[in-house]
Structure 1
C-alpha cells in the first residue's frame, strides 16, 4: 500500500508473522484485517453484510491483505474485542458507539477508538421500536407498567425504551422490569410469554411483525430523536494502516452507491446472507426505507450523540466520561469521499427515494416480480392492491408511511383510519389514537375494508 509507514516497511521482513496493528498474518504471509459487524443489524450492511458480499473491500486492498469478517448479534462484543486489539474496524449503533468510545478513551493509548463514518440513520428514531405479541391487550407503553420488557441493555433499542417511558412519567427502573437479553433470546421470550414486550433495534421489530409473531406497540419515530449506526476504528490501527482504512471507507461508499442504485437486489442479497425475510430487509433498506444510507457525518447526528452522553450517564450505562470531539474524526472519510463532502453532508434526502412526497409515497411488491411499483399516496396504494387482487396477482409486500410520524411500515400491519373521504395508515394504535384526538368523527377500519373502499 502506498502510505505504509517507513517503520512498517523496515520491520515487515523481520516480523512477517504480525502487523504493527498486532494482527497475525495467515499462512501465505498476507496481513489480516479483522472487521466486526452485525449481519442482522441491517442498518450497517454497507459496512458489513452487503459490503462483504460485494467484495469491494478486498478488491480495494489487493493481495497483500486478507479480510476476516466476524459476525455478532450486538455491538457490545465488538467493543470488547476492539479493546483487546482483536478487531480493527467495527460497526454498531449510536448508544454502543458511545460506550465503545468511552471505554476506549478510559483504556487510553492505541486502544482509543474513533468514529469515522455513518452507515445509516433515521432523524426521528424510527429504526428502533417496541413490539408485543399480536394478541396483547397493550395499546401504549403505559400498559407495560408492572410487566417485563426484554432489551439489550446499552443498545439503541434500550435507549429508545428508556426515553419513551420517561416521557410518559414511568421510571424504567421501578415501573417495568427490563430483562437484559440478546435480540434472538428476547424474541423467544416474547413468543413464550416470558416478556410482555421486546424493545429492539433494526431489524427485529419489522422481522417479528412481518412474520406475524408480533405487533408494533411503539414507533421509535414518535420519539423524534435521531438514531444512527456508524463505523468505528482503533486509533492505533488507523494511525499505522491509514491506507487500509481508506480502502475500507471507499468500499463503504461504493456499497452505499450500489444500495441506492439497486435497492431490491441489495435487499435480496442481505436476506440471503442473514436468513431475514427479504420483505423485512426492504422495509428498512429499500426505496424510501426507514434507514437512510449516507456515510457523511451530519451535524444533526453529532448533536444527538452529544445529547445522549448525559442521558446514558443518568441511567448508569455510561460509566466512563467521553470526549465526543476527540471521538468523532471524519478526516479519513473526507479524504476518501472527495470535494463534495461538505455539500453532501447537508443533504437529508434518501438516496434510494421513491418519486413524489416521501411522507405519502408508498410501494407495492408483487409476487414473482423483480421490480416494485411506486404509488403516490395511501389511496393509490390501496387501489393498486385491490386491482392486483382482481387480476389474481398476489401482493408480496406493500409499504406505506405512517400519517403521523412518516415511519414506513407494512400496509397490512398498519392501523387504518377513515377521516372523511381519506383513508390514513398508522404504524401503531398509539399513533392512530393521537390522530383521532385532533380529528373528531374519525373511524377505524380494517385493512381489508380499506382496500375495498379505496
Structure 2
C-alpha cells in the first residue's frame, strides 16, 4: 500500500533535548480553559526538558487551530469536540491524534438562547417547543449545530429559517431583533445573557445531549518525542485539577480576563462557575474533567463523527482507531493513582461572583 506523502514531518529533536512548541488554544471557549491555565501558570515548565520554549497562539474558533496544526504551524491544539474530530480525518494533509479530553458538560456549548421579548416559559420543554417555526441561527458545523439539530429531531421541530452565523453576527442580530433564537457556547452565552441581549431557555441537560473539549497533537511530535507528550499531559492534568478546585476560581478568572478582550470578569466567572436556573436546564456541575477517553467521551466522539459525516464535513462516519491515542493519559492516571473523571467544576454561590 502506498502512503501519500504528508506535509513534511517537523524535526522536534531527540528525546531529552529542549523542544520548541507552538500551542493553539481557545480562551474564547470556556471548556478549553485548561489551555488558559497552562499559559498563565506554566505548569509545563516542571515537566518539559530544561530550555524548552512554548508559544501560545489564540484561535477565535477551533477550525483555525485545526488548519494551523495541519499546516505544521502549531503542534498542540485545544479545541471543541467537532474541530477535534475533523483534525484527525485529514490524513492526506497531516496526521493529528487526540490525546486527552478537556471536559464533558451539558451547557458549555449546548445552550439555547432566545430574544429577550420571547414569552416567559414555564420550563425548558415548553421553551424548546416554541422554537417551531422560528428563525434560529448557529455557527454551522460546530457543536452548537449538532445540539440544535439533535434537539429539533427529538422534538420534531421545523424552524422557519436555520441560519449559519458566527458569534459576532448572532450578537448583532439579537441586538437588532432579527433572531428568535440561537445556540451559543461559553463565555459568549454568559455575555449575551449578561448584556441583556438574550435569555437562556434550555441546555444539553434538557434533552440529554452533552458537549466536550479535546486536546490534539501532531503524530510526528508523538512519534519523535514521547518525553514531550508525557510532559505536556502531566501538566495538563495539573491544569484540570487547578480549575476544578473552587479556591482557585478568582485566579482562573483573572487569567481568562488577561487572555481575552471584550469580556468582564463577572461574565467569565458566570461561564464556568455560575449556575443557570433548573427550569432552563441548569445544574450544579459546569464541567466534568474526564482527562482520558472514558466510555462517555468515546460515545460523544462517535455521535459527533456520525453527525459531521451526515453534514458532509468529513468523509468518514467514524474516527480511525489510531485517531484516539489514550495510552498516555491512562498511564499517567495509573502512575498518579487517579481515576477518570478526575474532577468536576461545580457551580459556586452567586455571592462569590466578581462585581463587574
In the superposition, the TM-score normalised over structure 2's length comes to 0.81
Partner deviation per Cα, 1:311-336 (whole Å, 9 max, x = no partner)? 33223333344434321111122344
Q: What is the match of residue 220 of structure 1?
A: 204
Out of 21, 25, 30, which is 2:10 matched to? 21
Q: What is the match of residue 42 of structure 2?
A: 55
Larger Rg: 1
Structure 1 residues 393-404: aligned runs within 5 Å: 396=355
Out of 273, 276, 296, which is 1:286 matched to? 273
Kept in 2, the 8 Å contact 1:44–1:91? The answer is yes
Q: State how far apart, in whole Å, the 2-side matches of 1:213 and 1:93 are.
A: 25
Out of 254, 259, 277, which is 1:268 matched to? 254
Kept in 1, the 8 Å contact 2:101–2:297? The answer is no
Q: What is the match of residue 318 of structure 1?
A: 314
Distance 1:244 1:152, change over 3 A: same
Higher relative contact order (CA 8 A, sep 6+): 2
Partner deviation per Cα, 1:334-383 (whole Å, 9 max, x = no partner)? 34444356x612x4762x558xxxxxxx6232578xxxxxxxxxxxxxxx
Q: What is the match of residue 22 of structure 2?
A: 34
Out of 12, 29, 33, which is 1:45 matched to? 33
Matched, 1:118 2:101: yes
Matched, 1:328 2:324: yes
Partner deviation per Cα, 1:290-322 (whole Å, 9 max, x = no partner)? 112342221111122213332332233333444
Kept in 2, the 8 Å contact 1:89–1:233? The answer is yes
Kept in 2, the 8 Å contact 1:267–1:285? The answer is no
Kept in 1, the 8 Å contact 2:101–2:212? The answer is yes
Q: CA RMSD in A?
A: 3.0
Question: Shift of the alpha carbon at 1:200?
Answer: 1.6
Q: State how far apart, in whole Å, the 1-side matches of 2:351 and 2:305 are.
A: 41
Q: What is the match of residue 135 of structure 1?
A: 117
Kept in 1, the 8 Å contact 2:308–2:317? The answer is no
Kept in 2, the 8 Å contact 1:284–1:291? The answer is no
Kept in 1, the 8 Å contact 2:286–2:346? The answer is no
- The runs of 5 or more residues in structure 2 that have no matched partner are 1-7, 122-126, 275-283
Matched, 1:300 2:296: yes
Aligned length: 329
Q: State how far apart, in whole Å, the 2-side matches of 1:78 and 1:197 are.
A: 28
Kept in 1, the 8 Å contact 2:111–2:203? The answer is yes
Question: Shift of the alpha carbon at 1:241?
Answer: 2.3
Question: Shift of the alpha carbon at 1:188?
Answer: 2.1
Partner deviation per Cα, 1:38-93 (whole Å, 9 max, x = no partner)? 111011111x2121011122453355332121111211111111111211110111
Question: Shift of the alpha carbon at 1:282?
Answer: 2.9
Question: Shift of the alpha carbon at 1:162?
Answer: 0.9
- The runs of 5 or more residues in structure 1 that have no matched partner are 1-18, 355-361, 369-395, 398-454
**SS of residue in 2 equivalent to 1:165:** helix
Distance 1:268 1:217, change over 3 A: same
Q: State how far apart, in whole Å, the 2-side matches of 1:130 and 1:69 are.
A: 31
Kept in 2, the 8 Å contact 1:285–1:292? The answer is no
**SS of residue in 2 equivalent to 1:291:** strand
